[in-house]
Every structure is written in structure tokens, then in C-alpha cells.
Chain A
Amino acid sequence: MSLLQLHNVCKSFGPTQIIRDVSLNIEQGEKHAIIGPNGAGKSTLFHLISGRYKVSAGEILFKGAPIHNLEPFEITRRGLARSFQVTNIFPLLSVFENVRCALLWSMGYQYSFWHLLSRQTALNDRAEALLEEIGLFERRNIPAGELAYAEQRALELGITIASGAEMILLDEPVAGMSHSEAKNAVALIRKVTEGRTLVMVEHDMNIVFDVADRITVLVYGEVIASDVPEKIRGNPRVQEAYLGETPHA
């Protein structure tokens, strides 16, 4: 059984249909990229999966159970975490606190007001290990809002993976980065999503063809192709959607 299943998912805002009848299966352990021209509905699709938007029709199953009527925090608790296209961190909290907060739920603290954070050795060790992993250990005490852009993106990724989710959705994780920053970011993404299922929206075709095992092409809210990279590259409909240009890999 696929880890994530979308069955005939539709989303309309008023009369405008953004997502049209999308069906998609994502397997355990897969690295899946969703590509498509601007306005194709890629981010909307992420918002539907992660519970930020409610579907207009159709259903979404995660580990076989429907999640399309759940709140974002319930979906997160089931092991599906996401990052955002626009950096979405806790700007006044320190970098360390950002990561520690992201760990809290998965480590079972819930809404506790009877644990002192400073005494939770396992929690604090894990937060520090995670900071090492995303390369922000040195910056742990400064407010997250003061980090440089690429560092904020790394923190965003750290917050997303902290819960140990089985499935990670990354929305344009390297958008706005310089070439070398993007290269580092991709290496980091590879490292931290190892052994997990990854779905990402990305514009940079080099990265997409480099990272993904399977690619889904979304155009005007419809899936026009979903296949392994080689087949996507040769697909005439995909080439047409990209204005006759072959995605240069």
C-alpha cells in the first residue's frame, strides 16, 4: 500500500478550480518531485495534503487512513511534516528554541506545564544534535529572525524534520538561494531525508532530476504525467507544457 494516496482530489476557490481531479500515489521511501509552470497548483496541492486547506472533493489517505478532514497539527502528529515556500520560523525565539519546540510533541511533552525544559536532558541533547546536523550549532543563541536567508532556510528544514516524520513535504526548499547555497542545501536535504519519504516542489530542474526517483508534472491543476525522470524528460506533453523547451538536465 502506498504511504500517501490522493484520490480524485479537487480544490476550488469560488468558481476557480485550482486542483482538478488529482490522483497520485507516493510510495514508502520514495523521493518524489512535483514540477509544473507557475500557477499550476503545486503549493495548493501541498496545502491540501498538509491540512492548511480543505479539499473541495476527493480524499487523501496517509498510511491508509483519511487525513483530509484533519487539522494541520493532527496531520503533523501522524508523521507528515512540511516546510514552507516563504520561510516560516519563530523569529523572536532563539535558533535553539525553534528546534527544541519542533521536537516537543514527538517526544511526548504535549502541553505539559510540569516539566522544566532545562532539565530534559534527552530533549536538549537531541536539539543540539539536530543543530549540528543542519549546521547552525554556532548560531544557536541568536534570535532566529536575525539569521541570514540561507540559514533561515536550513532552520526551516530542521524544524520540519525534527519530529522524525516519515514523510516530508518541502515547498521550494532552495528558492532564492545562490548557486553554491543551493548546492549545500541539496546536500543537506539528501542527508536529513535519508530513509524517509520526500515530496518536494522545486523549480530548478537540475535539482529535481538529481534528487527525485519519480516526478509528477502538474499543469493547470491537472496531473499530465507521473513517472521516472527519464520518461518525464522524453514526454511530449511535458515538453509542450514547458513551452516546447526540453527540461535541461
Chain B
Amino acid sequence: MGRLAIWIVFAVVLLVLPQIFDSVLSLSIFTQMTIAIVFALSYNMLLGQGGMLSFGHAVYFGLGGFLAVHAMMMIEFETISFSITLIPLVGGVFGLLAALFIGSFSTHKAGTVFAMISLGIGELVAASSLILVSFFGGEAGVSGDRTYGPPFFGIDFAQDDHVYYLAAAWMFFAVLCMYLFTQTPAGRMANAVRDNPERAEFIGYSARRVRFISFAMAGFFAGIAGGIFAVNYEILTEENLNAATSGRVLLMAYIGGLGFFIGPIVGAVVLTLINSLLSNYTDLWMLYLGILFVLTVMFLPRGLTGLLMMHRVAWQLGRMRLLLLPYTLTAIPGAVFVLGMIAMIEMSHAEEAEFVYLGLALSPDGYGSWALLFGVTAAAFFFLRRTLPRLREAWSEANTLPRLPRQEDGHP
């Protein structure tokens, strides 16, 4: 019943969120999140669940999206007639067809071979999209209008909140299906093949067929994400199926945590926030995203979700209190250090003579400002070096108990 409760809470949150944060910006961010969540989870069916590193997952997102826009245009010109609410399914079906075709030869091997084929296919499709103008619309892309077709219970999706609820409903459906897939024989064998493809063959399964099924599923759900994108933005361009989009979905899944079902959801939420909020404040947000990714790979191989899950033992032992003070003591110099580094990065990038940062007027041309920032950052670093060992001590104290029963791994 615990599981069911989680799903109910999830649905309620989706319904209530736009009532609490009701600005145009937040609504737009929520819709972006739904798209990112479906896309990132579909990606994790390959990487986290199936052990297939893809550099071209945007192909299925993009192709699904393009077909969805074309379907919207056909509804507009009354070539076909069905409700706009089904557009994401059109994207899904086309993503599935594309994945069935490409997966038939790319899933033969995992590892480098698979990664290189995915990269090649990604480049191929992105390049063709600029050449095949009649379908992809060249540089300008193709655009449609979601307000045509038979209205859905009187709703014509002219308003953004209607689009959000449609997107959230599809997202809920897709997340549920992807979760259930992990609980089926095919889903579990995908994990087995990820762990040890050779052994899988000796218990009666073709590793290739198992990968193919995961790949097709991943294509289907990526296509659904593309379809939701098409309904929301009413335009698709080459950018939606190129390597940058493929790279972004990899970052989402990885930063969130590949080993957990909710990992990519966390990653999608965090990256959407960075993407849409941080980009208002700085041109350099991509740099910070890159740094976040590198730090995750180096220090948090299980992602942000893994970082949270690390605290499970201390939580169950009721020892979170032990960590509170060391965390605070580390967080203060830590925050100063990070802010100092950001200030220096931003200042080196500033073009005006005066650079305002956190209410401070700094001058990029003067030695004084640089010396101040450098001094503060260095001091923070010095303090951080002293507080970290204490945090480590507190951590081991909070997590050790004589003869602690072995913890179950959070792996799917």
C-alpha cells in the first residue's frame, strides 16, 4: 500500500502545483519539467536500467515531436480528425517505430559499439533534418497550432494551464508505465543483461533481444516526451533532435542518479530549474551546469538521489542530529567559497566598468576587488579544509552501529 500512497501523492502534487505557483513563468517551468521527466526516464531505461550508453536519444524525442507537429497540421487542415489530447501518443508511436528500426541493428552489442552507433545515428538524423526541408522545415523547423480539432470536454488548449494539465496527465501515465516496466520479466532481465550479458545468455535469454525491447520502449517514451513538447511549444526544429539535446538528457539522468528509478526525475527537475531560472541571471549557466556534472561524476557517482539515499542509515538510526552541526559548519565556508568562485568567474566575464554582485559594487578593472574576492575565497577554502574532517568523523559516527544488519542497496 505504501507504493500506492506514493502514486496518489504524486498525482495530487501534479494537480495542486499550478494552484500554488500560478505565475506564467512557473506554469511554463512545470510543463517543461513534465517533458524533461518523461524524456530523462526514457533515457534511463537505456543507461541506468539496460547498461546502454546512448549519445543519440534526442533522435526519438525529435522524430516523435516532428511527427506530432505534422499530425497537428493535418488536424488543422482537416486531413484527419482526432483530439489534440492524443498528440503525445502520435509522438510515442513514431518514436517506437524509429527505435524498432534503429534498434534492430544497434542493440547487437552494448558498450562502445552501441555508444558509437547512437552517436552516428544522432549526427545522421540531425544533418538530414536540415537537408530534408519538406519534412523537417530546415533551419526554421515546422510549426503547428494546438487549438484545432474536436475540443476535449469543451477545452481547446488555448490556455497554458490546460496544456500543463494535459502534459502532467501524459507524464503521470508515462512514469507509471515506465515504473511498471521495471517490475516485469523484460524489465528485470534488462538489469540482468546490464550486469552480465554473457550469463543472461546461459539462463536462456538473448541479450540482444532483451536490449532491443528496452530500446524500443525507450524510443516510445522519448517520442511521447517529444509529442508533449510539440503540443506545448507548437514548433520543432533541428535543435530538438541534435547532439546537444541528447547530451542534456544524459546530464539529467546522470546528475539525478542512474541507479534509482526516481533519479532521472530529480535530475530533470533540477536541470529544468537551472535551465530556466539560472539562465535569467547569467550567460554562463552552461558552465555551471558543466561543473555540476563533473563534480557529480567525480564525487557522487550515484547522483543527487544517491546523496539523499546515503542518509538513510543515519535517518533510520535517528542520528540525523549528529550531522546537523557539522553540516552547518561546513555549509557556511562552503557557500562562501562557491559564491567567491562564482564572483570571480562572473567578474572576469563582466563587460561593464562596475559589476554588482550580491549588493556589492565591484570593479573588474581594479586590483582591490580581485584581491578582496581572492582573499575571501581563499579564507573560505582554508576553513573548509578544517571543517571537512569533522564532518567526516560525525558521518562515520552517525552511520556505525555494532553489528548493523546489512543495508539493502537502493538499486532497482
Which residue of chain B has its CB nearest to the CB of A104? Answer: B185
A81 to B189 alpha-carbon distance, docked (Å): 18
A114 to B191 alpha-carbon distance, docked (Å): 17
Interface contact B202-A73, CB-CB below 8 Å: yes
Which residue of chain A has its CB nearest to the CB of B203? Answer: A102
Residues of A within 8 A of B318 (CB): none
Interface contact A90-B196, CB-CB below 8 Å: yes
Interface contact B409-A116, CB-CB below 8 Å: no
Q: What's the minimum C-beta distance from A76 to chain B, rounded to whole angstroms?
A: 4
Known contacts: A71-B201, A159-B199. The answer to whether A115 contacts B184 by CB under 8 A is: yes
Interface contact A76-B196, CB-CB below 8 Å: no
Known contacts: A111-B213, A112-B186, A142-B408. The answer to whether A81 contacts B181 by CB under 8 A is: no
A162 to B408 alpha-carbon distance, docked (Å): 24
Please tell me which stretch of A35-43, A91-99, A193-201, A218-226 contacts chain B, meaning at least 4 of its Cβ atoms lie within 8 angstroms of it: A91-99
Residues of A within 8 A of B195 (CB): 90-93
A159 to B196 alpha-carbon distance, docked (Å): 13
Known contacts: A111-B213, A112-B185, A114-B184. The answer to whether A90 contacts B191 by CB under 8 A is: yes
Residues of B within 8 A of A106 (CB): 204
A76 to B189 alpha-carbon distance, docked (Å): 16
Convert A72-108 into 0s and 1s, putting 1 for each residue whose CB lies closer than 8 angstroms to a CB of B: 1100110001101000111111100100111011100
| Set A50, A91, A97: member contacting B188, Cβ < 8 A | A97
Interface contact A77-B191, CB-CB below 8 Å: no
Residues of B within 8 A of A92 (CB): 191, 194-195, 409, 411
Q: What's the minimum C-beta distance from B303 to chain A, rounded to whole angstroms?
A: 15
Residues of B within 8 A of A52 (CB): 198
B205 interfacial by beta-carbon distance below 8 Å = yes
Contacts between the two chains (Cβ within 8 Å), count: 111
| Set A71, A110, A116: member contacting B180, Cβ < 8 A | A116
Interface contact A82-B199, CB-CB below 8 Å: no
B38 interfacial by beta-carbon distance below 8 Å = no
Which residue of chain B has its CB nearest to the CB of A97? Answer: B188
Which residue of chain A has its CB nearest to the CB of B189? Answer: A101
A143 interfacial by beta-carbon distance below 8 Å = yes
B219 interfacial by beta-carbon distance below 8 Å = no
B183 interfacial by beta-carbon distance below 8 Å = yes
Interface contact B202-A101, CB-CB below 8 Å: no
Residues of B within 8 A of A159 (CB): 199, 203
Residues of B within 8 A of A142 (CB): 406, 408-409
| Set B185, B188, B199: member contacting A89, Cβ < 8 A | B199
Convert A156-175 into 0s and 1s, putting 1 for each residue whose CB lies closer than 8 angstroms to a CB of B: 00011011000000000000
Q: What's the minimum C-beta distance from A121 to chain B, rounded to whole angstroms?
A: 15
A180 interfacial by beta-carbon distance below 8 Å = no
Interface contact A111-B201, CB-CB below 8 Å: no
B187 interfacial by beta-carbon distance below 8 Å = yes
| Set A73, A84, A118, A160: member contacting B205, Cβ < 8 A | A73
The interface size bin for chain B is 20 to 34
Convert B200-218 into 0s and 1s, putting 1 for each residue whose CB lies closer than 8 angstroms to a CB of A: 1111111001100100010
A27 interfacial by beta-carbon distance below 8 Å = no
A222 to B338 alpha-carbon distance, docked (Å): 69
Interface contact A116-B205, CB-CB below 8 Å: no
Interface residues of A in 22-80 (CB under 8 A from B): 50, 52, 71-73, 76-77
A239 interfacial by beta-carbon distance below 8 Å = no
A93 to B195 alpha-carbon distance, docked (Å): 8
Q: What's the minimum C-beta distance from A64 to chain B, rounded to whole angstroms?
A: 21
Q: What's the minimum C-beta distance from B220 to chain A, rounded to whole angstroms?
A: 11
A101 to B184 alpha-carbon distance, docked (Å): 11
A141 interfacial by beta-carbon distance below 8 Å = yes
Interface contact A73-B206, CB-CB below 8 Å: yes
B93 interfacial by beta-carbon distance below 8 Å = no
| Set A77, A91, A141: member contacting B196, Cβ < 8 A | A91
**Residue from A50, A73, A100, A163 having most chain B Cβ neighbours under 10 A:** A73
A113 interfacial by beta-carbon distance below 8 Å = yes
Convert A103-144 into 0s and 1s, putting 1 for each residue whose CB lies closer than 8 angstroms to a CB of B: 011100111111111100000000000000000000001110
B225 interfacial by beta-carbon distance below 8 Å = no
A71 to B183 alpha-carbon distance, docked (Å): 27
Interface contact A76-B201, CB-CB below 8 Å: yes
A92 to B206 alpha-carbon distance, docked (Å): 19
| Set A76, A77, A90, A110: member contacting B185, Cβ < 8 A | A110
Known contacts: A97-B188, A117-B184, A117-B188. The answer to whether A88 contacts B201 by CB under 8 A is: no
Interface contact A101-B203, CB-CB below 8 Å: yes
A146 interfacial by beta-carbon distance below 8 Å = yes
Interface contact A143-B203, CB-CB below 8 Å: no
B75 interfacial by beta-carbon distance below 8 Å = no
A89 to B183 alpha-carbon distance, docked (Å): 20
A94 to B210 alpha-carbon distance, docked (Å): 19
Known contacts: A77-B204, A101-B192. The answer to whether A113 contacts B199 by CB under 8 A is: no
Residues of A within 8 A of B409 (CB): 92, 94, 142-143
A111 to B195 alpha-carbon distance, docked (Å): 17
Q: What's the minimum C-beta distance from B390 to chain A, rounded to whole angstroms?
A: 30
Interface contact A113-B408, CB-CB below 8 Å: no
Which residue of chain B has its CB nearest to the CB of A159? Answer: B203
A117 to B198 alpha-carbon distance, docked (Å): 23
27 contacts between A and B (CB under 8 A): A52-B198, A71-B201, A72-B201, A73-B201, A73-B203, A76-B203, A76-B204, A82-B202, A88-B196, A88-B199, A90-B195, A92-B195, A94-B408, A101-B192, A104-B189, A104-B204, A111-B185, A112-B184, A112-B186, A113-B213, A114-B184, A116-B180, A117-B183, A117-B188, A118-B183, A143-B411, A162-B203
- Identify the 10 closest CB pairs spanning chains A and B, nearest first: A105-B204, A90-B195, A109-B185, A72-B201, A113-B186, A76-B204, A113-B184, A102-B203, A112-B185, A73-B201
> Besides A112-B184, A116-B180, 12 other CB < 8 A contacts?
A73-B201, A82-B202, A90-B199, A90-B200, A92-B194, A93-B195, A102-B203, A111-B209, A113-B186, A113-B217, A117-B183, A142-B406
What is A's interface to B at a CB cutoff of 8 Å? 50, 52, 71-73, 76-77, 81-82, 84, 88-94, 97, 100-102, 104-106, 109-118, 141-143, 146, 159-160, 162-163
